[in-house]
Amino acid sequence: MIITRFPPSPTGHLHLGGARTALFNYLFSKHHGGKFILRFEDTDKERSKDEYVESIISSLKWLGLEWDEGPYFQSKRFEIYQYYAQKLYEEGKAYYCECSKELLEARKKELQERGLKPRYEGTCREKGLSPGSGRALRIKVPEVAEILFEDLLRGKIVFPADEVDDFIILRSDGSPTYQFAVVIDDITMKITHVIRGDDHISNTPKQLIIYQALGVDPPSFAHIPMVLGPDGSRLSKRHGAKSILEYKEEGYLPQTLINYLARLGWGYGDQEYFTMEELIEKFDIKRVNLSPARFDPEKLLAFNGYWIRTLGSKDILPHLKPFLGDYPLYLYSEDYLLEILESIKPRVKTLKEMAEMMDFYLLEDLNYDEALVKKFIPPKKVPILKSFIENLHLYDFSDEKSLEAQFREFADREGLKLKELAQALRVALTGKTISPPLFEIMRHLGKDRVNQRINKVLKLLEGVH
């Protein structure tokens, strides 16, 4: 069975690059009917925070990247790491080192001054030291000409053996180093494929040495390019990139983020938009482009507009409701909410915009901008609005076409251009100059609320003009 993993460090929130890595691991495992594991690399006690664990978990769940096992925490697995470290020590594949940090720094500086590559020279390799205070455990790097592996995307990658010295796998306080913990986790969790950013390529030689020392075949590796900003530099907040939960709070749909992240460096023919089901069906890791993908906030926003227009209103409503907290939703049926959502969908690109645009549908009492009312409903239009509501009882509010026909007849009788009267009525009914079609608004608001709002505007105008 194919098993992948996503191993974030809980030292910050989940951002676009990490979410894309999680997505690619998820899609690869699901495409092959395998498992997706979540584990937290939380051995950095000072920077790891529970709030970030919760944030990352919330982000993954919101995106729909549900894991099959976990979450596991490295901080709770020290006994496992120490067991494997002891095994290597007992087999003579690792040794204890008593070199102090100061001594190692001095030696490093000396080698650099001589123009040599800083490396540990095996000072304690043959001393036969036993475990003790202040002693770290180093792995014995075998004498080979080169270290190589076959990357699923890049083909053969070769490292000169002299790039790796006898590195520490267990610190003097008994805690594992990153390289060691990762390998032991991947072995014990039976990880078959490691899909990660190409900034991890340089970690691979050390990890391969640990696999070899333990007599375990390494997983297959695929190192995907980083996500860059629009200017080609490393993606950061200055490019407008935010954490996944910030996108949620700004009114983006999870379908948008999933679709956009998948398209960052991966493609399937000319297809632009994908559901999760389509991505699982079509995902092939070898289709990942080796050129770094560039983040485009405008394209992400356009994707969100597409998914708002495309998804059914019943699918959108649960995501929209958190943005409607200030409105008296208890007054309205779900059918009404779905109807007005459908009305707004084509005109917005975020759920936040949607909530702001539909306020006139959900507020029983509108607060009008007097300057706006005065501009679009000058004194000459007041008698016309009065005449309009006097005839309101004759109008058929159940059908937009009937409403439009009756409205046109009224405008003709008053000798008005349709547009001129419509804009005045739009401001009276919505408090805005831009909205869904007027007759659609009237049908949703109903005769009583239309009457009430026009009367409120007329009363307001008595004190304005």
Span 381-417, pLDDT tens digits: 899 899 999 988 889 999 899 999 998 998 888 888 8
Rounded mean pLDDT of 179-193?
Answer: 98
What pLDDT shows up at residue 45?
84
What is the CATH code of the structural domain delimited by 317-464? 1.10.10.350
Measured from the Cβ of residue 241, the count of other Cβ atoms closer than 10 Å reads: 18
What pLDDT shows up at residue 465?
45
3-state secondary structure of 138: strand
The residue that leads in pLDDT, 305 or 326, is 305
What pLDDT shows up at residue 464?
53
Residues 34, 43: Cα–Cα separation, whole Å: 28
Rounded mean pLDDT of 282-308?
Answer: 96
Q: Judge contact between 339 and 368, C-beta under 8 A.
A: no
Residues 236, 37: Cα–Cα separation, whole Å: 27
Residues 345, 440: Cα–Cα separation, whole Å: 13
Q: Residue 415: is it exposed, middle or buried by C-beta count within 10 angstroms (0-12/13-18/19+)?
A: exposed
Kindly name the residue from 237, 314, 375, 386 that is annotated as catalytic.
237
Q: Kindly list the domain boundaries of the chain, sorted by start residue.
A: 1-65+225-311, 317-464
134-157: per-residue pLDDT in tens? 999 999 999 887 999 999 999 999
Sheet architecture: strand order including 94-97: 94-97, 136-139, 168-170
Nearest CA-CA partner of 96 in 139, 60, 66, 52: 139
What pLDDT shows up at residue 92?
97
195-251: per-residue pLDDT in tens? 999 999 999 999 999 999 999 999 999 999 999 988 888 887 777 789 999 999 999
14-52: per-residue pLDDT in tens? 999 999 999 999 999 999 999 999 999 998 888 999 999
Residues 221, 198: Cα–Cα separation, whole Å: 10
Mark whether 45 is an active-site residue.
no
Our measurement of the distance from residue 315's CA atom to the centroid of its chain's CA atoms, rounded to an integer in Å, reads 19
pTM of the model as a whole: 0.91
Residue 115 has pLDDT above 90, yes or no: no
Element (H, E) at 312: none
The residue that leads in pLDDT, 119 or 23, is 23
Q: What are the distances in angstroms from CA 61 to CA 28, 175, 177?
A: 18, 31, 29
Q: Judge contact between 373 and 424, C-beta under 8 A.
A: no
Residues 460, 51: Cα–Cα separation, whole Å: 50
Measured from the Cβ of residue 251, the count of other Cβ atoms closer than 10 Å reads: 22
pLDDT more than 90, % of the chain: 78
284-294: per-residue pLDDT in tens? 999 999 999 99
pLDDT more than 70, % of the chain: 99
* Out of 87-96, 280-289, 333-342, 361-370, least confident range: 361-370
What is the CATH code of the structural domain delimited by 1-65+225-311? 3.40.50.620
What pLDDT shows up at residue 463?
67
Mean pLDDT, all residues of the chain: 93
Residues 242, 13: Cα–Cα separation, whole Å: 9
Residues 6+ apart with CB under 8 A from 440: 343, 400
Q: What are the distances in angstroms from CA 41 to CA 312, 349, 363, 401?
A: 39, 36, 48, 62
Rounded mean pLDDT of 324-348?
Answer: 93
Nearest CA-CA partner of 97 in 142, 131, 146, 59: 131
Residue 270 has pLDDT above 50, yes or no: yes
